Structures are given as C-alpha cells and as structure tokens.
Amino acid sequence: MKHKLQRAFALLLLMPFLFSCATYNKSMDSYYSNIREQNYDKAMHSLENNKLIKKDRNALLYNLEMGKLYRLQNDFTNSNMHLNIADGIIESSRKSVADIAVGSLVNPMHQTYRGEDFEQFMMHYYKALNYVALGQVQDAVVEARRITLSTGLQGDKFRNKENRYSKDAFALNLQGMIYEMAGDINNAFIAYRNAAEVYLKSNNDYYGVKMPMQLQKDLLRTATTLGFTGDQQEYEKLFEASYKQDDADNGELILFIEEGQAPIKEEKNFVLTAGSNGVGNFNYIDANGLNSSFNFNANAYGIAEDKLVSLRTFRLALPMYTVQYAQQQNVVVTNSTNTYTPQLAQNINSVAINVLKERFLTEMANALARQVTKKLLEKGTQALAEGIARSTDKREAKDTSNAENEKVSREKKETIQAVGQVAGFVMNMVNTATEKADTRNWQSLPAFVSYVRIPLHAGENNITVNTNGQLTTLKVNAGKGLQMMSVLVK
C-alpha cells in the first residue's frame, strides 16, 4: 500500500503540466496578430473560431472586439450592433453567487468579465463616432448623455477622489465636441469646462496627458459665444491666452489619430510571508524590489482570523500591464494650405497601468482570500480522506504477540496518514495549477489617441496624415458645423 501511494505522489507531480497556463493574450495571439497586420478577414475568422472568447463569461470582450473589428472595416452599423450589446452587458452586469464562488475557489479568469472602467469610456467613443459616420447625430448626442451617466457612476464608485480614476477627461472633452456638433453650445461649454477642471485639479497631468491647447480654445470660444464674459475672462487669465475667432465658414473636421495597441495584461507572482505584527500582517517584495507590508482583513471575507495562524506563506498571481507600444510617432496633418500637429487626448498606456496600480492592494487582498480559502479546503480534504480511510480500514488487532499488534496498528496509522497526504496533495496540485491572474482586457484599443481640429475649405478637402513619411489621405467635403473622423496609424 505504501509503495502504491509513493507512485501516486510521483504521478501527481505531473499534474501542473495538465493545466493550461496561457494568458489571455497568448490564447488570442492569432487574432491580435491579424489586427496588427490589418488582415481583418483573417482576424474575423480567428475571433469566431476562438473557443475562449466565445465562452459566456467573455461575452463582453467578444462584443467589444467585434465592435472594434467591424469599425476597422468601416461597417459602422454592425460595429454599433455589437458595441450596444456590450453596453447592455455592462449596464446589467451584477455579480452572482456562482460567479463569486468560482472566483474564490478557482481563479478570477473563470468569472464573468465586466471590463475595465476606461474600456467603458472608449466604448462610448467608438459608438459616438459610428453614429456620426452614419449621419445619426442625435444618436451620438444620446451617447454623449451616457458619458454623463458613466462619469457619475465612476465618481460615486471612488467618491470623486482626485487620486483615483473617478473621471475620464478624454470622454468629457469628446462629449463637448458631440454637443457642439449638434448645436447645443450650452452643454458643449459645460462639458469642455468639466474636462478642463479635471486637468486643472491634477496639476495639468491627468494619466499622462496635459490639457490640450485645443480644449482651451474650445472652452474660450463656447464661453464667448454664450456671452459668459466672466467665464471667458477667468479662463483667459488662467490659460494666459485670449480668444481669437477662427474662420470656419465651411465647417471644421475633428480628426482623431489612433496609434498602436493598448498594453496587455500578464501574470506576476508575489510571495507573501508572515510579518512580525501578528495575524493578518504579511510581507512581500513589490514591483520595485522593495520589501512592503500588507495587512489582510480576514473578517471582511468571512474568514476567521484564527485560521491564518497555521497558514503563513502564500503565492499570489496578480495581473500586471506590459506596454506594447511605448512611444508616439511623429505625426503631422496637412491640408492644401496649413500644417497641424495633433494633440494627445488619451494615453491608454498610462491610464491602464495606473488604474491597476490604484487597486493593487484590493487585487492582492482578493487573491489572498482566494488562497486562504483554497488552503483551508486542502486541509479539510486531507482530514476528510483520513476519516474515510479510518472508517473503512477494518483490520483489528488479533490475539497474537504485542509486537505483531503494534505492527498492524502502525501500518494502519501510516496508511491513513498516507491517504490523507495524497488527498491533500491532490488538492494542493489542483489549487497550485489553477492559481491564475485575470489577464483579460480589450487589447485592440489603441495605445494613444490624439486629435486635431481643421477648418475646411469650400468643396472637397484632401487631408493628409504623415506618419514618419507614411502617408494616409482622407477626402472630406466641406459643410456647416463639425465633422468627426478617426484614422489608425501604425
């Protein structure tokens, strides 16, 4: 019996290799490679045949990716069909008991994906541009109003703390553009002002973006148009600039320039060891190589603190972003008479990395709670197996020598312990193999979004985007008011 159990141990050592350890990005590699190469038909085929993203728990990601993919093919109707489905998933998403359980007993990759907060704002951006491209300006206005709702929920979530991602300056700026396009100058002014205040409260550096000069001009222009002299003078003093009316009789184009791909989530392992300040206090090496302390409130997760006494070392798998596209390229936009330099409006590299940093301790606490639960389950499984082995082992001491009886008793005890060890080891291997970080994210988003506002000439305008010598030409017909377009550069 003992030798059989030893062989079982050897076999169980191979168990981790039976579990897939691929990150979400690796599982989606074919799709993202085709996106980068602009092979959109192949990308569609890869997406439709990927079993991971077609799972119910990844429905949000599937529809976000489909929405982006159709937009890249200028199919704005189908793009918004999927983005609206994604919007509905976000709006109705609630954590179920089963979802919480699978996150606690397996890993968060098996929970329903609810999206990063900035992904929701980027969804509004694409939906609005789709409606504009379809000539449905009033539907774009509805999207602008949804930005207000999302901003309110985001602010409530973090109680509008200035050191948290409680607003999205880019989304508020976009909101102003949409209202202005629809002729609602009053709401445009409010949105521009709200966006400007986000930058001002963050010392003019909001997640890697300084306040665009164009936003300052738009705020001054709408204040002047509305006759808000006091606001105009206040912002002229603040910006150290005066309002100058532009010649835009033939309308203007707001051109968004998207560069690169968003950072990917990868798994990073941390080892927590018991600290010297009592139960619930742990030490770990942080991302900078420094020894940091972490206090875990076990009661908040329904775990009795006395259970932590014998569980003092843990390996935690946490998500970390890795930048794919680090630097903006030299992009210049020209029409027949003028040259324009786009201004950075959204730095998704910075937003993604810093938002994850802001919730690092929450992620660690959730991962630790999951590991404590697994460890307790492991110990319970071992005890249960020993109990079953004890009740099923019917051998009894016979009327023989004491030495023989002691031998039988010793073998029985060893067998029971071995059964318990195997059961505990099996559970340990399963727990170890299934400990994974949630590495899912909307990876076809760009790394950077810049924009430029170009006055149009009468008739057809040729707008050229020069990216380090690589030219992209857009043909835009003049008209009254604003138009919006986007272009993707490599």
Query: Exposed (0-12), middle (13-18) or buried (19+): which is 470, by Cβ within 10 Å?
Result: exposed
Q: Report the alpha-carbon distance of residue 189 to residue 185 in Å, rounded.
A: 6
pLDDT in tens, 403-429: 666 665 665 555 545 544 554 444 444
193 neighbors 335 (Cβ within 8 angstroms): no
Mean pLDDT of 110-131: 95
Cα separations (Å) of 18 from 225, 228, 432, 434, 439? 67, 68, 12, 11, 20
- The beta strands (E) that lie in 198-300 are given as 252-259, 264-274, 281-285, 291-295
pLDDT band for position 12 (cuts 50, 70, 90): very low
CA-atom Rg of the chain in angstroms: 29
Q: Report the alpha-carbon distance of residue 390 to residue 244 in Å, rounded.
A: 89
Backbone angles phi, psi at 455, to 5 degrees: -65, 140
pLDDT in tens, 52-62: 999 999 999 99
pLDDT band for position 16 (cuts 50, 70, 90): very low
pTM: 0.84
Mean pLDDT of 380-402: 55
Of 347, 349, 321, 325, residue with least CA distance to 205? 347
Backbone angles phi, psi at 315, to 5 degrees: -105, 125
Structural tokens at position 25: 């990005």
pLDDT in tens, 324-371: 999 999 999 999 889 999 999 999 999 999 999 999 888 888 888 887
Q: Which residues contact 276 (CB under 8 A, 6 or more apart)?
A: none
Specify the 3-state DSSP secondary structure of 281: strand
Strand partners, 317: 269
pLDDT beyond 90 at 451:
yes
Note the pLDDT of residue 309.
65
87 neighbors 123 (Cβ within 8 angstroms): yes
Backbone angles phi, psi at 460, to 5 degrees: -85, 135
Reading phi first (left if > 0) and then psi (alpha if -120 to 50, else beta), residue 302 is in: left
How high does pLDDT run on average in the chain? 84
DSSP secondary structure code for residue 322 in this structure = E
pLDDT in tens, 201-250: 999 999 999 999 999 999 999 999 999 999 999 999 999 988 887 777 88
Torsion angle (degrees, nearest 10) of CA 217, 219, 224, 227: 180
Q: Report the alpha-carbon distance of residue 345 to residue 210 in Å, rounded.
A: 8
Of 217, 320, 261, 263, residue with least CA distance to 449? 261
Q: Report the alpha-carbon distance of residue 129 to residue 486 in Å, rounded.
A: 8
Of 102, 23, 89, 95, residue with least CA distance to 58? 89
Note the pLDDT of residue 372.
77
Query: Exposed (0-12), middle (13-18) or buried (19+): which is 411, by Cβ within 10 Å?
Result: middle
pLDDT beyond 60 at 147:
yes
